[in-house]
Amino acid sequence: MATSCGTKKRTISTNNKERKISIEANKSSTKPSVAKNLPNVYTEKPKNNTIAESVISSALEFSGTRYKYGGTTKKGMDCSGLLYVAFGNQDISIPRTSYVIAEEGKDIRIKDVDKGDLLFFKTSKRSKKINHVGLVVSVDNDGIKFIHATTSRGVIVSSLKEGYWNYAFVKATRIL
């Protein structure tokens, strides 16, 4: 179920508005630009649950979409592309790759995770870098559920209780 979240340079369409984005190559000497319009106030719980719900709703519209490296449409989607589009539909700009998104927002404890927060994973044994991201859609007695794009099953909702995802989990962040 490992996914790859865009590390090659290419230009792709992102959604119905036909905006263009670039995915920059991963170079240690070059730091990617930071999104300019991310909220900079953080609390233990998301301040605006309406925005979180809208982002989640947007992401859920892609449920069942097949996986496609670098994809950001119903024809194919990767994990960071899913979040890029879901947040973008709410006029919130986030970076395009999971490892760069992981540098945004505020790290939070897993017990403080809420809807709209992001979960980051390392799914490759060959790399020590974060390479997968999911969006929390629910937190309840059944645990934390998140939507993400997997190489084998496309865009799905999974549980952090699942052994694979629990083992690969690295951290959670809040950007809303």
| Catalytic residue selected from 96, 122, 145, 148 | 148
Give the sign of the dihedral formed by CA 147, CA 39, CA 130, CA 172: negative
Active site residue 5: no
Phi, psi at 59, each rounded to 5° = -65, -40
Residue 132 is among the residues annotated as catalytic for this protein: yes
CA atoms in the 13 A half-sphere facing the CB of 73? 11
Residue 170 annotated as catalytic: no
- Pick the catalytic residue: 132, 139, 144, 158? 132
Q: What is the 3-state secondary structure (H, E, C) of 43-88?
A: CCCCCCHHHHHHHHHHHHCCCCCCECCCCEECCEECHHHHHHHHHH
167 Cβ contact partners less than 8 Å away, ≥ 6 residues apart: none
| Annotated catalytic residue within 79, 135, 147, 176 | 79
Could you list the active site residues?
79, 132, 148
